Structure 1
């Protein structure tokens, strides 16, 4: 039982010496990455940089004990940080203390929701985030993050809310650009990109952080010339209970719910990608929810804002040879040592460098290839992606993901309300029954027989579509029509509304002198036919195992064998 909730109990006794070098290398490298990334992502969230280190410490450590994935690297994430910033900005909090307190409470609330979802086995909810929604949302969020960092890159000072307002404010204040900040920021971008081209594994972000601190410390004449971080608190985070009011709980609830859902979907997407590449299957969705929830709940008590699995850090973790959660434990130790001994050195770190790190990181999140592919192949999916993108960019982060899911559900309902309906014909000389619209002269068609296939479950949302499509084809056949054969193999469900409508259709056909035949019905459908009384209306003699049998019997009466009768009518 304990192994289920604490997977470390499962993998630690089986630990091999051969894993150690990869785990140590990955742990140190990711730990070094977490330091500048954590501080940068705290800026995105609107928090003092040290809170990024707090979010990189406790949640990361706890996930190593509770996470089912052995390679995910947990900590602050750009996208989640932006959601925190947008939600807290909307609350119009009075001061920075209230802002920090609400950020910690949001982590607690997100954690509780994830934990509850995990215990109620709601991991399947991640399936409602389709790839077009994720792509559109991520690309828009990357742009929102990039725009939010422009003021640090240009060294501008202004207050604004909303992506569009921020972008306009940057344009209006562009004349006030701090030449030192923009120069340092552009140089940092060039160094990071250049080092990554030399070798992907180089800790480029940490290199520019160290170089910029050294440069400012030795060469800055006046501290007002460059916007620097200033004092960063030293020491491990204290235990603090998040403070909140009932009204704040009500306001924060929708954002926390969206963030819990988004964070889990992100983590599962990354975990699945890693496991597909390595052919190792460890991740259990419901345990991931519990692990992320536990990490955020305890993390919030040690001054962490919402944390999640990071794509770039996980990629580095895998590339460096991480095999188990020991890598995450080592990276947490690196962050802990930094908090204990190295934070005074960050006093001279330019904010434009952190802005540059974020801009380079989010650039890789903007995907132009996939939308172009959808535009050529699946235009309806492209519309879904575009709608999510524009909603996220122009209205808001939380609204973007919520509306993206709603758009997906609308598309789903539309598709299942009008599924594929095919008129079939027998391929000449073979027992294949195919769509006459696709095979034309290769099929034989008889005026007295109409064969159809309905490629979906038959229920209240699409039964009227089925009825209209069927009667349209019946009218096309004209007065010579004697048999309608439904290939029911694709039909996996029949609800009460559809059963009653089908009953009505069969009686209408009988009034026209047309016999309705059903072929290939699966077991659950046969059970429903019995319980609903449809079998009596259709007639046992008109139920067939295969379409070929129904077709042959319509052309020339063929007596069924005992086994054919048994199989065609079998039910529970």
Structure 2
């Protein structure tokens, strides 16, 4: 384990400090309302969102490799947290604060262990269509779940089949003041996001100042809503408020843990770890590419693990790298992770001095903040693109979306991963194979069904486009047997292996069986274009000694060597 902070700390100068301070100021303004809103989304007190935005930023700055990634609460992980701690709290295993902190600690330990053992590659099993589908479904689910706060009604439910009927049943009880504040805040925030920066720039403000003011829109919405509540005593008119928020910072401590609690939270923590890591690495790699920098995925596991451990010890809940705030951090000119440390100081200052001002904040304003943030995650065009390109990936994406919306978030991501793996195994178990012939006038060989090629009647040239292993070796046996049985003129079978990077023990036995059966039928079995490492492994077995044919360097060499034998056989026949 290394400390990437030692790399960027060298040569830290005044220019870098000023850039990091400016970026931190902008991100802090953005992060305060987001932290409060996402804590509410996780069914936790609003101050927990602030706590989750302090120590994790400091921990990631020491162990993470991205210069601009901003970690903290995010919408999808907040939703997954609510889904995970709900049953635990209902069973009486722990209170929500303890359960959330325990979830962060378990996730942090898993990420840290994965980083130490260099298991970052495991995240590759979570395909992009599955992640995209899960984020889209989560965005829809989150937005639907926040509508009750815009209406000022009670509507329980964690899936669409529960949320929508509850909203319809309670819509007639909507509070007019809450509706006005909620939809007013939503319209204001949308206008600020859509037209704020260009509008302010058109008034002659410098680009950096215009951007900073546009990013401050959530703070302005909060301030305006608080003033309205106090001016018209809207709390007495049925507008749901955030209420008193404890002033100060929690003392870092290990929450009360039990084996039963850890066992109940472990599956959800594993899913949160994987989803958080994939999202964080994707954002980090995208932003690093802009600056011609790179991040180390295994070290990122350690950085995120440290951030989540810090969140658990600091009274927070699971965190990861957020796309929106990281982009803002990058655009604002952050040069090093020190910007995250300065942001943490700003959030800590808000927790110490600003929380008394937020007691009269309407929950509808936080709901509007969440809705506007998560709807940007919904990518319906990706569904259409995936359907047009790959029906297999579309099936995994669709299953993820439907199960997430109708059953639950944990079940949705699990269904997508399982279906992706099953379909990948099915595809690799039935690898693409092509009978090939020679392109006239060249030494190239192509699929006879796609190109005009020349073939020799006595030679079957079969190209396999997959490594050979236990799941597809029988398929290869059956394909060769069928082709040979269908053409009595065949005297030679040449298996082209340019795409074969591995042959396991099961596939080796299949090759031996193919060789034996062909020999009994008077057909010689050859290999061509075998990769060096594969050839080395075959050399450690007795397969090559019993091979009825030869191993050729290229398919062209094989064809030239065997064509004469086929011609002589045809004359004799």
Please, what TM-score do these two structures have when normalized by structure 1?
0.93
Which of the numbers 81, 99, 102 marks the counterpart of 2:99? 102
Question: Does 2:431 align with 1:423?
Answer: no
Shift of 1:160: 3.9
Q: 1:473 to 1:182 in 2, by over 3 A?
A: same
Q: Check conservation: 2:456, 2:563, Cα contact below 8 A.
A: no
- Please list every run of 5 or more consecutive structure 1 residues that lacks an aligned counterpart in the other structure: 559-572
Shift of 1:399: 1.7
Question: Does 2:239 align with 1:226?
Answer: yes
For 1:363, the equivalent position in structure 2 comes to: 375
Question: Does 2:295 align with 1:295?
Answer: no
For 2:466, the equivalent position in structure 1 comes to: 456
Question: Does 2:389 align with 1:377?
Answer: yes
Shift of 1:400: 1.6
Which of the numbers 550, 556, 559 marks the counterpart of 1:548? 556
For residues 378-411 of structure 1, the C-alpha deviation after alignment (integer angstroms, 9 at most, x for no partner) is: 1211111101111111121112222221111111
Could you tell me how far apart the structure 1 residues matched to 2:93 and 2:48 are? 13
Could you tell me how far apart the structure 2 residues matched to 1:97 and 1:351 are? 26
Shift of 1:299: 2.3
Question: Does 2:504 align with 1:498?
Answer: no
Could you tell me how far apart the structure 2 residues matched to 1:399 and 1:451 are? 46
Q: Check conservation: 2:27, 2:325, Cα contact below 8 A.
A: yes
After superposition, residues 80-99 of structure 1 pair within 5 angstroms as 80-93=77-90, 98-99=95-96
Question: Does 2:330 align with 1:321?
Answer: no
Question: Does 2:122 align with 1:113?
Answer: no
SS at match of 2:470: coil
Q: Check conservation: 1:422, 1:452, Cα contact below 8 A.
A: yes
Question: Does 2:257 align with 1:244?
Answer: yes
Shift of 1:452: 0.8
For 1:72, the equivalent position in structure 2 comes to: 69
Shift of 1:188: 0.6
Q: Check conservation: 1:93, 1:99, Cα contact below 8 A.
A: no
Q: 1:198 to 1:159 in 2, by over 3 A?
A: closer
After superposition, residues 107-186 of structure 1 pair within 5 angstroms as 107-186=104-183
Please, what TM-score do these two structures have when normalized by structure 2?
0.93
Q: Check conservation: 1:102, 1:243, Cα contact below 8 A.
A: no
Shift of 1:218: 2.0
After superposition, residues 212-361 of structure 1 pair within 5 angstroms as 212-220=225-233, 223-281=236-294, 283-361=295-373
SS at match of 2:471: coil
Could you tell me how far apart the structure 2 residues matched to 1:508 and 1:113 are? 50
Counting matched residue pairs gives: 550
Could you tell me how far apart the structure 1 residues matched to 2:310 and 2:290 are? 32
Shift of 1:335: 0.6
SS at match of 2:243: coil
For 1:570, the equivalent position in structure 2 comes to: none
Question: Does 2:24 align with 1:27?
Answer: yes
For 1:48, the equivalent position in structure 2 comes to: 45
Could you tell me how far apart the structure 2 residues matched to 1:546 and 1:224 are? 83
Shift of 1:13: 1.4
For residues 319-349 of structure 1, the C-alpha deviation after alignment (integer angstroms, 9 at most, x for no partner) is: 1111111211111111111111111110111
SS at match of 1:477: coil
Q: Check conservation: 2:245, 2:356, Cα contact below 8 A.
A: yes
Shift of 1:51: 0.7
Shift of 1:372: 0.6
CA RMSD in angstroms comes to: 1.8
After superposition, residues 428-507 of structure 1 pair within 5 angstroms as 428-439=440-451, 442-478=452-488, 480-507=489-516
Q: Check conservation: 2:133, 2:401, Cα contact below 8 A.
A: yes
Q: 1:176 to 1:453 in 2, by over 3 A?
A: same
For 2:569, the equivalent position in structure 1 comes to: none
Could you tell me how far apart the structure 2 residues matched to 1:197 and 1:137 are? 26
- Please list every run of 5 or more consecutive structure 2 residues that lacks an aligned counterpart in the other structure: 198-210, 567-573
Q: Check conservation: 1:139, 1:367, Cα contact below 8 A.
A: yes
Question: Does 2:521 align with 1:512?
Answer: yes
Q: 1:158 to 1:514 in 2, by over 3 A?
A: closer
Q: 1:32 to 1:96 in 2, by over 3 A?
A: farther
Could you tell me how far apart the structure 1 residues matched to 2:487 and 2:272 are? 55
